[in-house]
A and B are shown apart, each in its own frame.
Chain A
């Protein structure tokens, strides 16, 4: 058999080579079937056992991974999930068949959803289904997948993903799946290359023995010819050498091959993300996403809670600049207890600064907390989704008012410089009209609004290209406006971490890029390779 080239969508970057481990969704049928009472008891025990297993897994993970599993526990704990299965068992069906049929019906409901997000949740339901089936059949599902394998199959479940040690160099190549699935998020955070949407895997019976996965371009080669494999291994070796050099250079400042100093900042969503890091890896924090700061609590946190979190981040940064973004909630008009027609197009609706200006009582609390935190470091504050100067002016006046009020109360406070995110094409085209103290380009939204293509919709994901000349032209225009006005311009979207774009971004005139902590070493190495 010749080598097989398949192209899908990149879901997590990086290169990997490894033996193919095929996920078998088919769990062998149980040997014996008892009477309905016995079958119902077996199912009940298997569901309870699955919940215990998940609880044990939750104890070993945190953050996003734990939340994914908590969702599964909540679903498993709901009698409505097994209702259909118990009815079938009462009618004489075996427990495993009844459970599988009930869950398959639930799963097909998710797969038929209009929204990519809900379709992607089908993988969680498959995970729940198979965990309980494994319990009924006494099989250990994750056994046999070693961390150096290329895991292939239709889709991969979060709990199977979490049971594998991905530090050993493995990767994921899926016929189905989605770049916005829970597993794709986990793969990106663990550094496991992943490609989704390869289409039907073209073999019957004997699967290929080896696979090359390119998570940067979204391609997979099964059973490569020796020459193909050698070329790929050369690329990997180069990438590894680059990574090692990059890790070594992680604490050093980023400098291009022709000697230009580039500032590398961090994007963070919570103080816990940076507290284990040496602040020397970065030149500051370019984006703190405040909307994710207090996920555990209900609703918006109070002034003191916000102040404490902002202060922690500023103290970690030890004098380096920290840019905190004000609430960037997306969506509709939140007026208590009123029936409002749902916005047809929430991404074009009342979100970001528009929402903050519409809810001044919420916005003021955040501005007060920011002014109080500003005395603990070098704080900058930025406004998301700004389209016209009036939005900036109104927020600027509110910040002045809150600062003055705090001073009048005799509280320690400072008035941080206020800048804007440039993510609406209108703001990029007229950046010089804003009185902003700095511009931070949000490449994700800028790309989505410029190309009119959402990146979580698989069918148009190819159009959502931050490297498109139209997007780069808007970036260059923003940089030029910053130069004219003498204010700093940075970029904090995913494009900053995409090292294929580093050359183009620096060519557009950017000198400050902000990325997630895991991307710092790679970005600094890419910068070192850039010459004018």
Chain B
């Protein structure tokens, strides 16, 4: 499911991983999903999320796919990021989760 650009990025840059717990009420629901994908789209890095460290991984730039994850409150959200702005992307993703997507 990887597109060509993301593959190239992944080959050049070692993937970074981290995880954070969803603290906002109701988990990764409609509004947080939209915020997460909008934030992810601001980076060129390939950004993926998963509910377990071993995946399956979901494209964090697709609201449809992020909603399919149905991540509940209290779930641990894992991130895998690869790309030239990977560090900044990962930091932004984690900040968003820690701050409860501005809902907390």
Contact = CB atoms under 8 A, between A and B. Distances in A.
Chain A partners chain B: yes
Contact of B100 (A75, A80, A331, A342): A331
A106 B102 contact: no
Interface in A287-332: 291-292, 294-300, 327, 329-332
Interface in A332-348: 332-334, 336-346
A78 B63 contact: yes
B99 interface: yes
B74 A70 contact: no
A114 B26 CA distance: 12
Contact of B70 (A106, A113, A340, A346): A113
A343 B72 CA distance: 11
A294 to B, nearest CB: 6
B14 interface: no
Given A78-B63, A299-B95, A340 B102 contact: no
A331 B74 contact: yes
B37 A343 contact: no
B76 interface: yes
Interface residues of B, number: 44
A34 interface: no
B23 interface: yes
Interface in B56-73: 59, 62-65, 67-68, 70, 72-73
Contacts of B44: none
B35 A298 contact: yes
Interface in B1-46: 18-27, 29-31, 33-35, 37-39
Contact of A332 (B21, B38, B59, B63): B21
Contacts of A291: 100, 103-104
A298 B99 contact: yes
A115 B72 CA distance: 8
Nearest to B96: A298
Nearest to B23: A331
B25 A71 contact: no
Contact of B22 (A75, A332, A344): A332
Contacts of B33: 71, 74
Contacts of B67: 75, 110, 118, 121
A117 B76 contact: no
Given A75-B67, A297-B102, A299-B99, A332 B72 contact: no
A292 B59 CA distance: 28
Contacts of B100: 291, 329, 331, 334
A296 B102 CA distance: 7
B31 A330 contact: no
A333 B99 contact: no
A80 B22 contact: no
Contacts of A115: 26-27, 70, 72
A68 interface: yes
A68 B30 CA distance: 8
Contact of A329 (B24, B39, B95): B24
A342 B75 contact: yes
Contact of A80 (B25, B65, B104): B65
Nearest to A182: B30
A204 B20 CA distance: 51
Contacts of A346: 73-74
Contact of B34 (A71, A118, A299): A71
B47 interface: no
Contact of B18 (A117, A337, A355): A337
A338 B20 CA distance: 6
A80 B68 CA distance: 11
A109 B70 CA distance: 10
A74 B37 contact: yes
B74 A342 contact: yes
A78 B62 contact: yes
26 contacts: A67-B31, A71-B34, A74-B33, A74-B34, A74-B37, A74-B38, A81-B64, A113-B70, A121-B29, A298-B39, A299-B96, A329-B23, A329-B25, A329-B104, A330-B24, A330-B25, A330-B73, A330-B104, A331-B74, A332-B22, A332-B74, A334-B20, A334-B98, A334-B104, A337-B20, A355-B23
Interface of A: 67-68, 70-71, 74-75, 77-81, 106, 109-110, 113-115, 117-118, 121, 124, 291-292, 294-300, 327, 329-334, 336-346, 349, 355
Pick the 7 closest A-B CB pairs, nearest first.
Answer: A299-B99, A329-B104, A331-B23, A346-B74, A332-B21, A80-B64, A71-B30
